[in-house]
A = this chain, B = another copy of it.
């Protein structure tokens, strides 16, 4: 039974403040993907625990906007409350804004917490509300009535093991200072947690899956101040940070520190990654220079050292998965009763046996049959399916290792498959291979290449509703910018895929109620040719794990794709076999057999 907080106290507080509607987004002061409990206000008020959604509470209505990934879950979790599920068409789109402005009269007040709203988000709100005469009140009304609000997380902050860090803190800081100087700034405020972890070479565990910690970083030409809750950094690390030019201050003092900036300061900020509250007291005379955090681009271009560690991590991750998948494959085919929850347990347990493994990099998606058609499915103790010795099992999982982050999706035939399953399985693989073997000119962006992965699906009048790839951090966030592979959208960024960037390649195909297919590898961009037409790049596939060739229809792959797959399997076998033994090794050899012999 889901817990619903009564909306009555909030409504009476809204009444007292003359507020017609209160927007409760899914956000924190760092605009992170995963929130600490303290900012799970929307989940606390509504009972809806999904990772994306916006609650709007009015005097006589309350609605929860979320997208198709969460319709089922939201319906279940909102049942019994008076909150209506508002089905959002596009993920992450602020569709509640147009809804609200069409329904509120001029002069009405709408509140939102300023520590859960980026500068860019505030601008978008004003652009919608101003023409309608709606007033925006930047005030945390739910926070004011949340008596048992969780405290800030207290997990310790540690240095990234120097054996894996591949950089010195002083060099990272110097690079940041150069970048802020180049941007014409005197100061640079960073609130995005992965940027801060990357610059400081620190890691934490304040949120699920991402090894980051709550902080702000204020960099000036000659010094930097890290704002963290006190007590999370031990004296030795504090001294080491000081030696590198990083002083500590309390997490709560960032607003005051911004208020105390010199009147003629020029502050570099990323409007999408800094909250309104953080800059609430910034002197009006301080000039804001708005741009992406320079560390975001620098962090995305992985160094040779980082990629070397990552390749070793991939071999470990691949060996762990070979053991896990062999176990699932043989036990289910052997008639044993396993569930999607068991898949998650087995995969996590095998990864945990590998050296330098820290934690999963996201919640495992183990979707059997129809559950595989839900791209963001998560089996829970309450809701999960038993596996049967037929059909397809989709497993999307990943690990955080000291030497890199992994994210991989494989689809396993647990026995007989339908011809539709085999065709879908093969066409998605054709798309994954087409993009994986593409070469492209330096300067090409992910949106420019996205169609290469989709064309084999389009040929069969099929498509998928998610992006084709996302950047991945180095022992950092599994979703990392700035690059991405997705269809171009009006006004959207076109970030070039640069050498060293690590990006997922993961086309899919989902048949609601029947099955889902997604094949995902991580790939590093590297230079492959220089010609009179310039520099050309290609992908180096990093992920090492066989694809199930049993449900494959080789006739649907062209000769080049078949050759790519055989070469990939030969490489996987060479690199993983020495790390496996006995039945695991036999299973790997069978799975890596070339297609002709398959």
Binding site for B on A (CB under 8 A): 438-441, 444-445, 447-452, 455, 458-459, 461-463, 487-491, 493-494, 511, 528-534, 536, 558-560
**Least CB separation from A533: chain B residue:** B463
Least Cβ distance of A515 to chain B in Å? 13
- Which B residues are CB-close (under 8 A) to A528? 461
Contact flag A455-B458 (CB < 8 Å), given A490-B493, A494-B489: no
21 contacts between A and B (CB under 8 A): A438-B458, A439-B459, A440-B458, A447-B448, A447-B488, A448-B487, A448-B488, A449-B451, A451-B451, A451-B452, A452-B452, A461-B528, A461-B530, A461-B531, A461-B533, A461-B536, A462-B531, A463-B533, A463-B534, A488-B488, A558-B559
- Which B residues are CB-close (under 8 A) to A529? 461
- Which B residues are CB-close (under 8 A) to A491? 491
- Which B residues are CB-close (under 8 A) to A487? 444, 448
- Contact pick for A439, options B439, B448, B458, CB 8 Å: B458
**Least CB separation from A440: chain B residue:** B458
- Which B residues are CB-close (under 8 A) to A488? 445, 447-448, 488, 494
- Which B residues are CB-close (under 8 A) to A451? 440, 444, 448-449, 451-452
Least Cβ distance of A441 to chain B in Å? 5
A448 to B488, CA, bound (A): 6
8 A-B pairs closest in CB distance: A461-B529, A461-B531, A488-B488, A461-B536, A463-B533, A439-B458, A440-B458, A558-B558
A488 to B450, CA, bound (A): 12
- Contact pick for A450, options B448, B489, B530, B533, CB 8 Å: B448
A530 to B458, CA, bound (A): 11
Least Cβ distance of A561 to chain B in Å? 10
A462 to B530, CA, bound (A): 10
- Which B residues are CB-close (under 8 A) to A490? 493-494
**Least CB separation from A447: chain B residue:** B488
A287 to B13, CA, bound (A): 43
Least Cβ distance of A430 to chain B in Å? 12
- Which B residues are CB-close (under 8 A) to A530? 461
Least Cβ distance of A483 to chain B in Å? 14
- Which B residues are CB-close (under 8 A) to A450? 448
**Least CB separation from A535: chain B residue:** B461
- Which B residues are CB-close (under 8 A) to A463? 441, 533-534
Least Cβ distance of A531 to chain B in Å? 4
- Which B residues are CB-close (under 8 A) to A439? 458-459, 461
- Which B residues are CB-close (under 8 A) to A533? 461-463
A511 to B445, CA, bound (A): 25
**Least CB separation from A463: chain B residue:** B533
- Which B residues are CB-close (under 8 A) to A532? 511
Least Cβ distance of A3 to chain B in Å? 37
- Which B residues are CB-close (under 8 A) to A536? 458, 461
Least Cβ distance of A105 to chain B in Å? 22
- Which B residues are CB-close (under 8 A) to A531? 461-462
A405 to B560, CA, bound (A): 39
- Which B residues are CB-close (under 8 A) to A560? 558
Least Cβ distance of A273 to chain B in Å? 20
A445 to B439, CA, bound (A): 22
A440 to B458, CA, bound (A): 5
**Least CB separation from A495: chain B residue:** B490
A531 to B491, CA, bound (A): 29
Least Cβ distance of A494 to chain B in Å? 5
**Least CB separation from A459: chain B residue:** B439
A422 to B531, CA, bound (A): 18
- Which B residues are CB-close (under 8 A) to A441? 458, 463
Among A441, A447, A449, A451, the most chain B Cβ lie within 10 Å of the Cβ of A451
- Which B residues are CB-close (under 8 A) to A448? 447, 450-451, 487-488
* Known A445-B488, A451-B451, A559-B559; further 16 A-B contacts with Cβ < 8 A: A439-B458, A440-B451, A441-B458, A441-B463, A448-B451, A448-B487, A448-B488, A449-B451, A451-B452, A452-B452, A461-B528, A462-B533, A489-B494, A490-B494, A491-B491, A511-B532
A448 to B463, CA, bound (A): 14
**Least CB separation from A465: chain B residue:** B533
Among A462, A493, A533, the most chain B Cβ lie within 10 Å of the Cβ of A533
- Which B residues are CB-close (under 8 A) to A455? 438, 440, 452
**Least CB separation from A512: chain B residue:** B532
A182 to B536, CA, bound (A): 47
A506 to B490, CA, bound (A): 25
- Which B residues are CB-close (under 8 A) to A493? 490
**Least CB separation from A558: chain B residue:** B558
- Which B residues are CB-close (under 8 A) to A494? 488-490
Least Cβ distance of A495 to chain B in Å? 10
- Which B residues are CB-close (under 8 A) to A462? 531, 533
Least Cβ distance of A213 to chain B in Å? 34
**Least CB separation from A464: chain B residue:** B533
Among A444, A445, A459, A529, the most chain B Cβ lie within 10 Å of the Cβ of A459
- Which B residues are CB-close (under 8 A) to A452? 451-452, 455
Least Cβ distance of A544 to chain B in Å? 24
**Least CB separation from A509: chain B residue:** B533
Least Cβ distance of A440 to chain B in Å? 5
Least Cβ distance of A489 to chain B in Å? 7
- Which B residues are CB-close (under 8 A) to A445? 488
Least Cβ distance of A591 to chain B in Å? 27
A488 to B532, CA, bound (A): 23
